[in-house]
Structure formats: structure tokens, C-alpha cells
Amino acid sequence: MRRVREWIEWRGRMGRLAFLWRLAAAATVFVVLFVFLESVAGYASTLVLYPPFFAVLSSLAVRRLHDSARSAWHLLAPIVPVLGPVYLAGLLLFARGTQGDNQYGDDPRSRNRDYLQVSIHEPA
């Protein structure tokens, strides 16, 4: 259950690399399921794929925006023709996340790192 929650969670932060990998995985799964359902049951059956796909994409985008200390309101940027989608793509794909913790959570680059390093040297 935890694995599913990681894909549709709306809180927290996500780095660029994790965002790109999950975006590619979600798109691949969507395309494979779309082609399968269309060939088996027709085009109308593929409509059931869109709500979960958009939920996953929205979740990924929100957590990516949180990494750069921006709110989910930036997802409304594509309302502005031409410049809005370019602005949002720039934020999601190229904007660097804030260093350290921000109001949305801890820094994803510092997770799973051991700050206590012990160096053991053999006597000469």
C-alpha cells in the first residue's frame, strides 16, 4: 500500500531526477494500458485511464513544485496561452529545489544520508 501512496501523495517534496523517472514510468504504463484496452475493448474503454493518470501527474507536479518552495497554484499557469505551459515546464523540469528544509518538508537530496562518518585507519 505504501508504494501506491508514493504515486498519489500530495504532500512533501520530490527532486528533479525522481520526478523525471516517475513521469516516464507513468507515461509508459498509460500508453501500454491505452493500447491494450483500445485493441481489446475499443476506444471508449480507454476513458477509464484518464482520471488515475491525471491524479498521478498532478501529484508528481505538486510535489515537484513543493521542492522549489512553490505552491500548487502554479499548476494554473497553463491557463495563460503559450507562456503559461512554458513557465510551468521550466519550473517542473529545470528549477532547482531549495537547499535544506522548506515549509513543505525536508530536502529530498539529504534523505537517506548518514552524516556521521567514521574513518578507521590501520596503524602503520
Neighbouring residues of 120: CB distance < 8 A, sequence distance ≥ 6: none
pTM of the model: 0.80
Mean pLDDT of 54-77: 93
More confident residue, 124 or 61: 61
Nearest to 92 by CA among 110, 77, 108: 77
Rounded to an integer, what distance in angstroms lies between the CA atom of residue 105 and that of residue 57? Answer: 20
**Is residue 45 pLDDT above 70, yes or no?**
yes
Whether the predicted pLDDT of 13 surpasses 60: yes
Distances (CA, A) of 25 to 30, 42, 81, 91: 9, 24, 28, 20
108, 97 Cβ separation under 8 angstroms: yes
What is the pLDDT at residue 120?
A: 66
Query: What CA–CA distance (Å, rounded) separates 84 from 123?
Result: 63
pLDDT confidence of residue 65: 94
